[in-house]
């Protein structure tokens, strides 16, 4: 069974990484922090045994 949440997280991380790579070192640091925060949020959602929701 395909885990669509993991696929969506992967797509978001690639898009964010590509976007911030255009801004050089500072942008890559910001993108890295954003990626870490997304991963932490995803782990929290998984441990809560709730379906992952997109937050606006």
pTM (two decimals) = 0.41
Q: What is the pLDDT of residue 56?
A: 46
Start-to-end Cα distance in the chain: 27
Structure tokens at 43: 């782990």
| pLDDT surpasses 60 at 51 | no
Q: What is the pLDDT of residues 15-44, one digit of tens each?
A: 877 776 677 777 677 778 888 888 888 888
Measured over the CA atoms of residue 37, residue 39, residue 42 and residue 48, the dihedral's sign is negative
Q: What is the pLDDT of residues 1-14, one digit of tens each?
A: 677 888 888 888 88
Distance CA 18, CA 38 (A): 16
Distance CA 8, CA 5 (A): 5
């Amino acid at each position: 069974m395909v885990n669509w949440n993991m696929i969506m997280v992967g797509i978001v991380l690639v898009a964010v990484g590509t976007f911030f790579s255009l801004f050089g070192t500072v942008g890559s640091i910001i993108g890295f922090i954003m990626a870490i925060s997304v991963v932490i949020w995803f782990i929290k959602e998984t441990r809560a045994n709730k379906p992952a929701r997109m937050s606006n």
